[in-house]
Amino acid sequence: MCMMRAYNGVTDNFASATREFNTRKFHWTDAKSKKPTRPEDPHQYLSGFGNELESEFIAGALPIGQNSPQICPYGLYAEQLTGSSFAASRANMARSFLYRRRPAAVHTSLERIEGNTTFTASFLPSDDSLHVVPSQLSWRAFQIPDKSGPEVDFTQGIRTLGGSGHPNIREGIAYHIYAFNSSMKNKAFANIDGDFLICAQEGHLNITTEFGHMYLQPSELCVIQRGIRFNVAIVEEHSPNGARGYIIETWGTKWELPELGPLGGYGLANSRDFLHPTASIDTTSTGSWTIITKQVDKYYASYQDHSPFDVVAWHGTFVPYKYDLTKFAYQNSVAVDHTDPSINTVLTAKSRDPDAPLCDFLVFGPRWDVAENTFRPPYFHRNCASEFLAKIYGPTGGGRSEVFVPGGASYEAGHTPHGNADQRTMGAMHMELKPMRVGENSLTIMLESCRSLMFTNWAVKDSGVLAAEDIPLAAWDLVPDRFGKDEEAQKLLRARSCAM
Ligand SMILES: [Fe+2]
């Protein structure tokens, strides 16, 4: 495939910053880079969020002033791809026009296939194979297929942990992990059910979409919307251990930037840091291609004698994008008290309840903690949202359990009483409150959802890495009863009891 290399010849401080990143002491601004991506990323992008975008691989391929000329430039075919209804509000309109060598309609008839049986999107309470977890779960690192073993590609390496709802009622969410050791070969996948938010944890991915290429490496995410065909290749040079990461699949909603309110125009995930692919036609692949689609949790295959990535130009608002989580501009208290974690929201996906997001995607990385006269770690809490945490990199522990490791995960159902299991929680009551760095050398993502998840057999039985259920009980036994030993409080209690 032909790839454009952007910013050739640019010299900057990336080399030293990359060395720092290898030891995980990294923040985007340390790089002082003149390009918007890390050095391994060979692709060129368009920036912004929710914009009207356009791109052409060769000059003159994009029609001007109309969408569908009688004959498109160079004999290309115009094809619309929508992600919203035709008459959706302008704010929610999601549609693009693609100009391609052959329409996507050119393929064999679809045949039903079994597909990946550990990859599911059906979470109805009547399904007895699903498990309700009323408290907590924790998984050690999910296993990546050995490179010396059978080949497992991206679509074969998806394992569903849990979710809520169903794609056919256009409401709900699924949490998956991916772990694979080889590239998809002449194969494309399209999820008709919902959008994929993919967050890389191990290995580098070269993702080809109908809109062009996206490079994804650990601590970067991308969103590929429903219906868009894509291929995932593993970048061997940077993936000696294979590839692993997390997928959040959403139905009936879309990922948006959170409102900034009094923060003003900037902060958190800035819109200019979201990067969209540029048009790039596949002119090198040969042979037959297989297109796998997932619709209503069923799998179908069709075949064609040419690459599905034959788009020469496109324009519209329905376009995949990527984001580097190390660019996140953290905001927090500079006076007193621990700010609610929503201040770390990167993207939010609304539900039909305006006050309860289907999912908030949060990030926790290196930042300063300066609040004075304050218990700085998260307070004990019983939130209505369910919480799913995953460590992208960093030392073991520091989350909800002592086995919280990169490549693993933990989950707390809504209203599960908990705090922070880190030893710092106890020490924080007596520590000297100097400005201090927190989250150094680590990056953790958290998904907060208004839904109570139901979990698959794979998640609670077959993954081989389930560490514990009900992990917090012993930890909280260590919390002392200070009130019961406070002499003045006890004296006042006795006096009040006598007065009654
Ligand atoms: Fe929590």
Q: Of 144-158, 363-377, 436-450, 466-480, which gets the smallest average pLDDT?
A: 466-480
Average pLDDT rounded to a whole number, residues 303-329: 97
pLDDT at 28: 81
Buried b / exposed e over 465-488, threshold 16 CB at 10 Å, is bbbeeebbeebeeeeeeeeeeeee
In the chain, the percentage of residues whose pLDDT exceeds 90 is: 78
Give yes or no for residue 138 having a pLDDT over 60.
yes
Ion ligand 1: residues, CB < 5 A: 387
- Rank 12-26, 397-411, 480-494 by mean pLDDT and report only the highest: 480-494
pLDDT at 1: 32
Q: Which of 204, 338, 415, 430 is catalytic?
A: 338
Higher pLDDT, 185 or 29: 185
In the chain, the percentage of residues whose pLDDT exceeds 70 is: 90
Distance, CA 387 to ligand 1 centroid (Å)?
6
pLDDT at 8: 28
Give yes or no for residue 94 having a pLDDT over 60.
yes
Mean pLDDT for all residues in the chain: 90
Q: Label residue 312 by pLDDT band (50, 70, 90).
A: very high
Q: What are phi and psi of 418, to 5 degrees?
A: -165, 170
Give yes or no for residue 249 having a pLDDT over 60.
yes
Cα separation, 231 vs 282, whole angstroms: 12
Sign of CA dihedral 11, 14, 19, 20: positive
- Chain-centroid distance, C-alpha 5: 26
Give yes or no for residue 428 having a pLDDT over 90.
no
- Residue numbers in the known binding site for Fe cation are 381, 387, 418
Distance, CA 392 to ligand 1 centroid (Å)?
18
Domain annotation for the chain: domains and CATH numbers: 328-484 (2.60.120.10)
pLDDT at 12: 36
Cα separation, 113 vs 294, whole angstroms: 10
Tokens of 349: 């996906």
Helix (H, G, I), strand (E, B) or coil at 117: coil
Q: Label residue 233 by pLDDT band (50, 70, 90).
A: very high
State yes or no: is 338 an active-site residue.
yes
pLDDT at 128: 93
Average pLDDT rounded to a whole number, residues 404-421: 87
In terms of Cα–Cα distance, which of 55, 54, 50 is closest to 93?
A: 50
